Amino acid sequence: MAMTRQGRARGSRRAALAGLAGACAVAFGLAGCSRVPDTLKIGVAQPLSGPLSALGQDMLNGVRLAVDELNQSGFSVDGKRVTLEVVAQDDRADAATGKTVAQQLVDAGVVAVVGHLNSGVSIDAAPIYGTKGIPQLAISTNPRFTELGLPGTFRLVANDTLQARAMGSFAATQLSATHYAVLDDGTPYGKGLADGAARQIAAEKRTVAVRESFDDKTTDFKALAAKLRDARVEVIVTTLNDFQVVALIDALVQVDYRRVSILGGDTIKTTDMLKADKKVDGIYATSPVLEAREFVTGRQFLDRYNTAFKKAPAYGGHYSYDATYVLSAAIQQAKSGDPKEITKALHAINGYAPVTGTMKWDDKGEQRYGAVGVYGMRGGNWELRMRSDRW
């Protein structure tokens, strides 16, 4: 019986598929028959403009440095040479902009995102990445980020629960005052961290005489300076930004109240903050972002960073650098460019991090090896006073 036209078409398709399978089988021994694209895009969402641009640019630089090294080394996935590409977006440290940026990165087809810096931005953007199962590796520290119930939220450092304990404990036991003030910038990061620090101070049987909230742009602190003086505050625990704390210190000097110590969060551990050195009794900062120079291989990283960008890191570029290397290893383990498969691999991996040593996450995406350091300003530099992962 003659074969029908439909039968001939089916036979042709079967033959084509068989030929493809045979070609894959032959090619597998040489370079693999990989479904991984030639290029994989890594998104970076950070504040690249505005007051926090130096920190955001540093995070971007860390990713770029790692990607350049990986590409130069001949990065491959499942036997196939793959080029990594950085797609960067400016979230302006603003939650609404962050959501727009997140959608742009999703539309661009990124397989993972290193972002964001600010907790409020990370929290609002996370569900957008979650719709496509895209892993989000953030340096944000608010605990809510990993409590969203999304499989793709990964934190690069210790969270604010530990940092708040560090702030309250150090303020109460090492600065040992009678009257404390706790100030925050009204952001999810700042308010949550300050509330935790205040609870820890109270648990240490110390008195919080002044508790105030501001927005993250306020710089007029004349009334606050007078209030702190009248309340005889000896230690100010704050999550205000560096430029705000500089303005507060200037206001304290104007009312001739300088016998006070200030303990801030990691947003004041900056080079700009050094301009306030010696204006008050002491300036300290807690940070889950430990400095590159504190690690054994930190010096080599700093040399490479300086060579590439002609300046020193400003914040956490070594964490985004490490995260990119761990991400690349997860992609290789997943043998896939599928974000959901990469997310699974990230949950399982105990990844080698070239600077900080290793990165590993629990089921929620919390960093298992996070620690918080306390730094003191001395001689125009930030010096480590103590560090712990327990507090």
Q: 52 vs 57, 92, 94, 280, 325, CA distance in Å?
A: 9, 8, 11, 25, 25
Distance CA 43, CA 287 (A): 25
pLDDT computed for residue 271 by the predictor: 83
Sequence letter at residue 326: V
Residue with structure tokens 């498969």?
341
- For residue 168, the surrounding DSSP H or E stretch is helix 160-173
- SS3 of residue 287 by DSSP: strand
Distance CA 14, CA 144 (A): 52
Q: Look at residues 349, 359, 331 and name the one whose alpha carbon lies nearest to residue 41.
A: 331
Helix axes 298-309, 53-72, angle to 10 degrees: 100
Give the E-state strand segments of the chain in sequence order: 39-46, 76-77, 80-81, 83-90, 112-114, 136-138, 153-155, 179-184, 207-213, 235-238, 261-264, 282-287, 351-353, 357-359, 372-378, 381-388
Distance CA 318, CA 311 (A): 14
Residue with structure tokens 């496509």?
132
Residues 110, 103, 324: CA angle, nearest 5 degrees = 35
Name the stretches of the chain with pLDDT < 50: 1-32
How far does the chain reach from its first CA to its final CA, in angstroms? 84
- Compute how many other C-beta atoms are within 10 angstroms of the C-beta atom of residue 337: 22
Q: Look at residues 154, 107, 118 and name the one whose alpha carbon lies nearest to residue 45.
A: 118
Residue pair 313/302 in contact (Cβ under 8 Å)? The answer is yes
Distance CA 203, CA 207 (A): 10
pLDDT computed for residue 34 by the predictor: 61
Contacts of 379 (CB under 8 A, 6+ apart): 277
pLDDT digits (tens, 9 = 90+) for 193-237: 999 999 999 999 999 999 999 999 999 999 999 999 999 999 999
Sequence letter at residue 148: L
- For residue 226, the surrounding DSSP H or E stretch is helix 222-230
Label the pairing between strands 112-114 and 39-46: parallel
- SS3 of residue 97 by DSSP: helix
Distance CA 35, CA 372 (A): 41
Residue with structure tokens 């953030």?
138
Q: Is the peptide bond before 318 cis (omega within 30 degrees of 0)?
A: no
pLDDT digits (tens, 9 = 90+) for 38-82: 999 999 999 999 988 999 999 999 999 999 999 999 999 999 999
Distance CA 66, CA 42 (A): 11
Residue pair 138/116 in contact (Cβ under 8 Å)? The answer is yes
